[in-house]
Amino acid sequence: MASVVVNGEQQQSARAGRSLLSFLRFDLGLTGTKYACGEGLCGACTVLVDGQPLRSCMTTVDAVAGGDITTIEGLATDGELHPVQQAFVDQVAMQCGYCIPGFIMTATALLGREANPTSGQIREALAENLCRCGTYQRIEQAVALAAEAMTGAAK
């Protein structure tokens, strides 16, 4: 049995070899993390494990046993959106929205390690996330806005 912390709560999985994505969606009912390509190429299934972005479709629960997992549902606190989530709303950075949880999780990890990233750093960090609707410019602007909000620094 694998044990992980998901959004601050201890969870157990009797099927340690199951994909982390399936565990989150089907066992825990956390459907914000999306299944898309199933091959770790698009980023829609990205979650944070110990603060680092990880493709949950390609990872087993056993591989992250003992880890601290944050899903898109775990970012908001006390009914308040996380600054990255709010910036995506403010910038209308989504169209269909299917890819957005993965972008938000990847951006959150970036801002956790680089408080005031350059445009190039934002693009590099998000380069392996795919948006089929093509809202890349608004996504980049949302990450820059979130950085401003989180640091209080105007760009």
Give dist(CA 45, CA 59) in Å, integer.
10
Q: For the chain, how many structural domains are there in total?
A: 2
Per-residue HEC secondary structure of the chain comes to CEEEEECCEEEEECCCCCEHHHHHHHHCCCCCCCCCCCCCCCCCCEEEECCEEEEHHHCECHHHCCCEEECHHHCCECCECCHHHHHHHHCCCCCCCCCHHHHHHHHHHHHHHCCCCCHHHHHHHHCCCCCCCCCHHHHHHHHHHHHHHHHCCCC
Give the domain-ending residue among 24, 39, 74. Answer: 74
Mean pLDDT of 91-116: 96
Give dist(CA 129, CA 150) in Å, integer.
22
Mean pLDDT of 91-117: 96
Range of the domain at 15: 2-74
| Proportion of the chain above pLDDT 70, given as a percent | 98
For 58-93, what is each residue's pLDDT tens digit? Answer: 999 999 999 999 999 999 999 999 999 999 999 999
Give dist(CA 8, CA 18) in Å, integer.
21
**Do residues 91 and 146 share a domain?**
yes
Q: In which band, very low, low, confident or very high, does the pLDDT at 153 lie, cut at 50, 70 and 90?
A: low
For position 118, which CATH number holds? 1.10.150.120
Give dist(CA 80, CA 119) in Å, integer.
27
For 40-61, what is each residue's pLDDT tens digit? Answer: 999 999 999 999 999 999 999 9
